Amino acid sequence: MTDRDLSQLAFDQKHLWHPYTNVTKPGPTFLVKESEGLFITLDDGTRLIDAMSSWWCMMHGHRNPAITRAIHDQLDRLPHVMFGGLTHDPAVDLGRKLLEITPASLTRIFYCDSGSVSVEVAMKMAVQYQHAVGFPGRSKFATIRSGYHGDTWKAMSVCDPDTGMHHLFQGALSVQHFVSRPPVTIGQDWDEDPARNGLGELRAVFEAHAGEIAAFILEPVVQGTGGMYFYHPDYLNGARALCDEFGILLIFDEIATGFGRTGELFATDFCAVEPDIICLGKGLTGGHISFACTMTNDRVAEGVGGGNPGIFMHGPTYMANPLACAAAQASLDLLTGQDWRGTVAGIAAQMEQELAPARALPNVRDVRVLGAIGVIEMNHRVSADEAHARAREMGVFLRPFGNNIYCMPPFVTDPDSLGRITAGMLRLAREL
Ligand SMILES: *Cc1c(COP(=O)(O)O)cnc(C)c1O
């Protein structure tokens, strides 16, 4: 039999790599034919509710008409043009919109292709800034454990050193400074004692290594892939003060938390501080096309611009792709044109109620909800492939990782569908 005769799935299993999988021993994979709203339709007609928002980005549902229309219209005018020496309405209009909704001090926007790249860009900006203002030795980064910032080299270097597989790439990864994840959770009262709130440890690292640290990078309030952990926003206030004291830049990676997912428009809105650099991605285009951006303040922009060589050393081929800009603008209009806060609060309240029974199950360590993020943390690893198959029987697409059975439903999820998602999660928690 030649490869031409293989079924679609057989060809896929033989030749295509999937995210974080064994290419020679692939797990169960379903062939998707189309998607609409909450549903992914498989080739046999099975319809599954996408409880993951397709890796947390499809927040207005699949094939959202406003977003697909924006892409169609843009496709007929200008699908792409290089951004060197040229600009276009979609880039400018999206920029205006982003400035409206993000912290006021973030005034400069760098458009790029994916979240990982936006993190690379943020880290390069920080290093170039420190170089420009007279600290060429400041080229490393500090971060908190259990973080996740993407799969490219520099982003990977600030992912959790244990789950981020540093041992595998040892020698090839830059060594960074890690502190414990903030110990006070978002539900607890803030503890002012630096010995107990994590800020004492951060100060100690800054005191010992400030001369070599360009920036402190972290996911504000919600750590996603690194463990679905929600910590107290006051940690960020303390971190901001320490960064200012030691001349270290503060980078918020809001790729997972941005655009209402946590119940605030951005997780930085939980606290009074603004970062020097922010990374946005995932939900930026409502999940319809790959896109991300890195935004910074005048201080960093003027530092980089005033240094030598002055130019910022990055420029992707598809920078500010007009299709992606148009999709992002449509997605942001959808978001800000609705009562997103009420919607997310409704999803949170229902998840709180429906996931609560999991607390009584023998292998459950914790149940937590923040905004439209629901997590059942088990005290053992959960097989994603097993979960995948069982959730499918329940008409839901769920893909746990590590110990966490979790969902990030699209904001358009109706109560009945959300009920099916939480029922699916409870079943997995009982059976796996
Ligand atoms: C997903 C994610 C990234 C990486 O984004 P990609 O688009 O997958 O490259 C970076 N940081 C955080 C917090 C993420 O959740």
Beta strands, E only, 266-399: 277-280, 292-297, 364-370, 373-378, 396-397
**Residue 152: both structure tokens together:** 């490219």
From 290, 316, 337, the end of a domain falls on 337
Residue nearest to atom 15 of ligand 1 (CA): 256
- Are residues 386 and 243 both part of a single domain? no
Residue 229 resides in a domain: yes
Q: 153 C-alpha to center of ligand 1: Å?
A: 13
- Are residues 415 and 289 both part of a single domain? no
139 is known to lie in a ligand binding site: no
Residue 8 resides in a domain: no
Residue 42 resides in a domain: no
Q: 234 C-alpha to center of ligand 1: Å?
A: 24
**Residue 268: both structure tokens together:** 């930085």
Residue 15 resides in a domain: no
pLDDT tens for residues 329-345?
999 999 999 999 999 99
Number of domains in the chain: 2
The dihedrals phi and psi of 315, each to the nearest 5 degrees, come to -175, 90
- Are residues 199 and 299 both part of a single domain? yes
**Residue 49: both structure tokens together:** 């509710």
Residue nearest to atom 8 of ligand 1 (CA): 115
**Residue 255: both structure tokens together:** 């790729």
Taking the whole predicted model, whether its pTM rises above 0.85 is answered as: yes
316 is known to lie in a ligand binding site: yes
Encoded amino acid at 175, one letter:
V
253 is catalytic: yes
Q: Indicate which residue of 253, 269, 276, 406 is catalytic.
A: 253
Residues with CB under 6 A from ligand 1: 114-116, 119, 148-150, 219, 224-225, 253, 255-256, 281-282
- Are residues 326 and 185 both part of a single domain? yes
Cα three-residue angle 108-274-164, rounded to 5 degrees: 90
Partners of 297 in beta bridges: 106
| Residue from 195, 191, 209 nearest 142 by CA | 209
- Are residues 170 and 252 both part of a single domain? yes
- Are residues 211 and 247 both part of a single domain? yes
Task: Determine the Cα–Cα distance for residues 48 and 41; give it in Å rounded to an integer.
Answer: 6
Q: Indicate which residue of 50, 235, 282, 406 is catalytic.
A: 282
Residue 194 resides in a domain: yes
124 is known to lie in a ligand binding site: no
148 is catalytic: yes
- Are residues 249 and 299 both part of a single domain? yes
Give the CATH number, domain containing residue 224: 3.40.640.10
17 is known to lie in a ligand binding site: no
Longest CA span, the chain: 69
Residue 260 resides in a domain: yes
Measured torsion, CA atoms of residues 51, 54, 60, 63, in degrees rounded to the nearest 10: -120
Q: 76 C-alpha to center of ligand 1: Å?
A: 30
Q: Which atom of ligand 1 is nearest to the CA of 292?
A: 7
**pLDDT value for 149:** 97
- Are residues 148 and 189 both part of a single domain? yes
Tokens 């006021």 correspond to what residue? 104
Q: Indicate which residue of 3, 20, 25, 189 is catalytic.
A: 20
Give the CATH number, domain containing residue 415: 3.90.1150.10
Ligand 1 pocket test, candidate residues 54, 116, 118, 254, most atoms within 8 A of CB: 116
Residue 51 resides in a domain: no
**Residue 352: both structure tokens together:** 């709180």
Structural element, H or E, at residue 336: helix 322-336
137 is known to lie in a ligand binding site: no
Q: 256 C-alpha to center of ligand 1: Å?
A: 7
- Are residues 154 and 241 both part of a single domain? yes
Residue 2 resides in a domain: no
SS3 call for 87: coil
413 is known to lie in a ligand binding site: no
234 is catalytic: no
**Residue 62: both structure tokens together:** 């699949």
Q: Check if the beta carbon of residue 268 is closer than 8 Å to that of residue 235.
A: no
- Are residues 272 and 378 both part of a single domain? no
282 is known to lie in a ligand binding site: yes
From 284, 316, 337, the end of a domain falls on 337
SS3 call for 399: coil
The dihedrals phi and psi of 106, each to the nearest 5 degrees, come to -85, 105
pLDDT tens for residues 45-81?
999 999 999 999 999 999 999 999 999 999 999 999 9
Range of the domain at 74: 68-337
Q: 28 C-alpha to center of ligand 1: Å?
A: 24
Q: 195 C-alpha to center of ligand 1: Å?
A: 31
Q: Which atom of ligand 1 is nearest to the CA of 152?
A: 9
The dihedrals phi and psi of 186, each to the nearest 5 degrees, come to -70, -25
From 337, 366, 395, the end of a domain falls on 337
- Are residues 263 and 370 both part of a single domain? no
Q: Which atom of ligand 1 is nearest to the CA of 281?
A: 7
pLDDT (tens digit, 0 to 9) for every residue of the chain, 432 residues total?
Answer: 677 789 999 999 999 999 989 999 988 899 999 999 999 999 999 999 999 999 999 999 999 999 999 999 999 999 999 999 999 999 999 999 999 999 999 999 999 999 999 999 999 999 999 999 999 999 999 999 999 999 999 999 999 998 877 878 888 888 899 999 999 999 999 999 999 999 999 999 999 999 999 999 999 999 999 999 999 999 999 999 999 999 999 999 999 999 999 999 999 999 989 999 999 999 999 999 999 999 999 999 999 999 888 999 999 999 999 999 999 999 999 999 999 999 999 999 999 999 999 999 999 999 999 999 999 999 999 999 899 899 999 999 999 999 999 999 999 999 999 999 999 999 999 999
229 is catalytic: no
- Are residues 332 and 350 both part of a single domain? no
Task: Determine the Cα–Cα distance for residues 106 and 378; give it in Å rounded to an integer.
Answer: 39
Residue nearest to atom 5 of ligand 1 (CA): 115
Q: 255 C-alpha to center of ligand 1: Å?
A: 6
Q: How many CA atoms lie within 13 A of 376 on its CB side?
A: 32
Ligand 1 pocket test, candidate residues 158, 252, 282, most atoms within 8 A of CB: 282
